[in-house]
Structure 1
Amino acid sequence: MILPAVLLAVQFSATPQGEEPVAAYAVSNANAGAQPTSDPRLLAAWHGRAGINRVIDTLIDLSVADPRISDIFRNQDQVRLRRLLKEQFCYILGAGCDYSGRNMRNAHKDLGIQTADMNALVENLQAAMAAEKVPIWAQNRLLAKLAPMRKDVVER
């Protein structure tokens, strides 16, 4: 039983290709900020992992281009950000992924995120989901899971 735990620790100790190194932290699916859904209809409405990946890519592209929040996104490791958001959504939507990022409070610490920034991000997420043709009911199910994270993300 000790061997798998050691392998898991080693798996996350190396920086994935193309990403900037970060300080060590405890890896846990609990860091994703929400429990995964058990409703397979939700994942199907998102068009599976491929749909999740497209939504995240569109979300980040929109946010980098959005003058309201572009500075927050431009100053981040884009490769890591895309990977971790894809993992987080995949985990929450019950697509069988694990989340390897930090918890929401630590991941957003010192970014100075305000309510207006969060609102702009949600607008961009809604646009990305609409572009993927995720039904409104499925959009709302994910947004309901993400909403409690606001307290850990917004600093002022």
Structure 2
Amino acid sequence: MIFIFVMTGLMTGCQTSTTSQSPDLYDQLGQRSGIAVIVEDLLFLIVDDGRINQSFRGVNVEQFHRLLTDQLCELSGGPCHYTGRSMRELHADMAITDTQFNALTENLILAMEQNRVPTGAQNRLLRKLIPLYPDIRNL
């Protein structure tokens, strides 16, 4: 958690304020198709990450990809609608640690960097995800 706030604070401090002329977040992420590619790259990073890959064993990868793509699409202002379970319900029995939460966030950042998402857009998406932290960690 601390990593998220520190990184977001550092990155945000380097950004200029947004104007009405700047592209919206959904467009900067590449719309739904771009978000789907980011999520696909994130899945490959999860598989290679020993800190979190065991938590994803047995997950229906196709469903996970679709739901996370829809969730990020909706959060970024796109026309998608997330139809999955609430974050609290979904993570209730998982006992997610800060290390695991941060590892997934690091991998999301890497996936966005691999897809040349501008740092400002990365920060804007992370700011939209931070409020989900208490539900994912079940605090």
> TM over 0.5, yes or no?
yes
Residue 145 (structure 1) aligned with residue 138 (structure 2)? no
1:129 aligns with 2:112: yes
Kept in 2, the 8 Å contact 1:56–1:82? The answer is: yes
Query: CA separation in 1, counterparts of 2:65 and 2:37?
Result: 10
- 1:49 equivalenced with 2:32 (yes/no): yes
Give how far 1:75 is off.
Answer: 2.9
Gaps of 5+ in 1: 1-38
Name the count of aligned residue pairs. Answer: 118
Residue 25 of structure 1: aligned partner: none
Paired with 2:27 and 2:39, the residues of 1 have a C-alpha distance of 16
1:66 to 49, 64, 67: 49
Deviation for aligned residue 1:40: 5.1
Q: TM-score, normalised by structure 2?
A: 0.80
Secondary structure of 1:142's aligned partner: helix
Structure 1 counterpart of 2:71, from 88, 91, 94: 88
Q: Which residue of 2 aligns with 1:26?
A: none
Contact 1:40 1:94 in 2 (8 A): no
Structure 2 gaps, min length 5: 1-21
2:42–2:111 contact (8 Å) kept in structure 1: yes
Cα deviation 1:91-131 (Å, max 9, x = unaligned): 11122011110110001111121110000000000000001
Name which of structure 1's ranges 39-48 and 93-102 shifts more when overlaid on structure 2. 39-48
How far, CA to CA, are the matches of 2:82 and 2:23 in structure 1? Answer: 19
The structure that has the greater radius of gyration is: 1
The alpha-carbon deviation at position 155 of structure 1 amounts to: 4.3
RMSD: 1.5
Provide TM-score, normalisation by structure 1.
Answer: 0.71
Distance 1:119 1:84, change over 3 A: same
Contact map agreement 2:39 2:65 (CA 8 A) in 1: yes
- Runs (4+) off by over 6 Å: none
Provide the identity percentage.
41
